[in-house]
Amino acid sequence: MCELLGMECNVPTDIVFSFTGLRRRGGGTAHHADGWGLALYEGKRARTFLDPEPAAKSPLAAFVAANPIKTLLAIGHIRKKTRGPTSLANTHPFTRELWGRDWVFAHNGTVRGARSLALGRYVPIGTTDSEHAFCHLLEGLRASFPKGAPDAATLSEAVAELGGTIGKKGTFNFLLGDGQRLYARCATKLCHIIRRAPFGQARLADEDVTIDFAPVTTTRDRVAVVSTVPLTTNETWQIGEPNTMWVFDRGRLAQTHAS
């Protein structure tokens, strides 16, 4: 299966440390070698890097890691294909516009009944079950709220409900972002950590890299990181329960929904 990486924070932060760990798993320390992608929000728009090459060997991934871009919300993905060939069109994360902002989506698992999910305004570009499910999910939100985005609590509940319905057709771990909040659904495997003061050191599991966050943070900073499996070896990660969805807002775990 694929692996997911998300970050949501209350101050602009770069994702280089976490991305370095994820990148090694893309054909280096693990076999997720069928492409990678990273989306970094700047307001309503997401700057997206996609490459069907293995992340561990990708010059573009090396460039992204060497040139930090600060953001409040990021979504990353390394792919181990189950449906659809290795190609740029099938590389996560996927992006679509809804209510005047980019929505970004990445999936881990296989939704075997995805082709039976109805489509509307949104149609896939590639051939993955993941993108089909994303298009169905966004169409469900658009149809449920035709006058525009609802309040945050109502929207979160709707995402959790749609995620649970799609999840009945297969394994549907996903990250979904709109530039304001990060939605993280656990079907089988997902974890998160919230880094806050007092900040300390973190050591990557897949690379000989240790960072001390204390000199580059303040007492007000909060950074939530979500991953399929823990990226570090010396921190305590919270393990998700199957069929639940987390909502992160300004570096906090704002809500947990049944999904």
DSSP string for residues in 86-154: SSGGGPSPEEEEETTEEEEEEEES-BTTGGGS--SS---SS--HHHHHHHHHHHHHHHH-TTS---HHH
Range of the domain at 22: 3-258
Mode of pairing for the β-strands spanning 173-177 and 182-186: antiparallel
CB 181 within 8 A of CB 254: yes
User: How far, in whole angstroms, is CA 62 from its chain's centroid?
Assistant: 20
Residue 231 is predicted with a pLDDT of 94
Question: Is the pLDDT reported for residue 1 higher than 90?
Answer: no
Question: Is the pLDDT reported for residue 222 higher than 80?
Answer: yes
Structure tokens at 126: 């590639």
Question: Is the pLDDT reported for residue 234 higher than 90?
Answer: yes
Q: What is the average pLDDT score of the chain?
A: 94
Question: Is the pLDDT reported for residue 31 higher than 90?
Answer: no
Q: Residue 192 and residue 171: Cα distance in Å, rounded?
A: 19
Question: Is the pLDDT reported for residue 207 higher than 80?
Answer: yes
Residue 32 is predicted with a pLDDT of 81
Question: Is the pLDDT reported for residue 178 higher than 90?
Answer: yes
Q: Residue 257 and residue 243: Cα distance in Å, rounded?
A: 9
Question: Is the pLDDT reported for residue 206 higher than 80?
Answer: yes
Residue 24 is predicted with a pLDDT of 86
Residue 248 is predicted with a pLDDT of 98
Residue 80 is predicted with a pLDDT of 79
135 is catalytic: no
The values of phi and psi at residue 165, to 5°, are -65, -45
Which one, of 82, 37, 76, lies nearest residue 60 by Cα? 37
Angle, CA of 82, 54 and 70, to the nearest 5°: 110
**Residue 77 maps to which CATH number?**
3.60.20.10
Between the CA of residue 224 and those of 11, 148, 211, 252, what are the distances in Å?
11, 28, 16, 7
Residue 216 is predicted with a pLDDT of 87
Question: Is the pLDDT reported for residue 235 higher than 90?
Answer: yes
Q: Which residues contact 90 (CB under 8 A, 6 or more apart)?
A: 35, 52, 79, 81, 84, 126, 127, 128, 131
Residue pLDDT, tens place only, 74-125? 999 998 777 778 899 999 999 999 999 999 999 999 998 888 999 999 999 9
Residue 119 is predicted with a pLDDT of 96
Residue 157 is predicted with a pLDDT of 98
pLDDT tier, 184 (very low <50, low <70, confident <90, very high otherwise) = very high
Residue 220 is predicted with a pLDDT of 94
Residue 79 is predicted with a pLDDT of 87
CB 137 within 8 A of CB 131: no
Q: Residue 28 and residue 41: Cα distance in Å, rounded?
A: 27
Percentage of residues in the chain having pLDDT higher than 70: 100
Which residue shows structure tokens 């880094």? 195
pLDDT tier, 172 (very low <50, low <70, confident <90, very high otherwise) = very high
The count of domains in the chain is 1
Given CA atoms 216, 219, 222, 225 in this order, what sign does their dihedral have? positive
Question: Is the pLDDT reported for residue 256 higher than 90?
Answer: yes
Q: Each residue of 183-204: b (16+ CB within 10 Å) or e?
A: bbbbbebbbbbbbbeebeebeb
Angle, CA of 185, 20 and 209, to the nearest 5°: 120
Q: In terms of pLDDT, which residue wins out, 155 or 218?
A: 155
Residue 179 is predicted with a pLDDT of 96
Residue 238 is predicted with a pLDDT of 97
- In this prediction, residues 36-53 reach a mean pLDDT of 96
Which member of 2, 9, 186, 191 is catalytic?
A: 2
Which residue shows structure tokens 């658009």? 142
Residue 64 parent element (H or E): helix 59-66
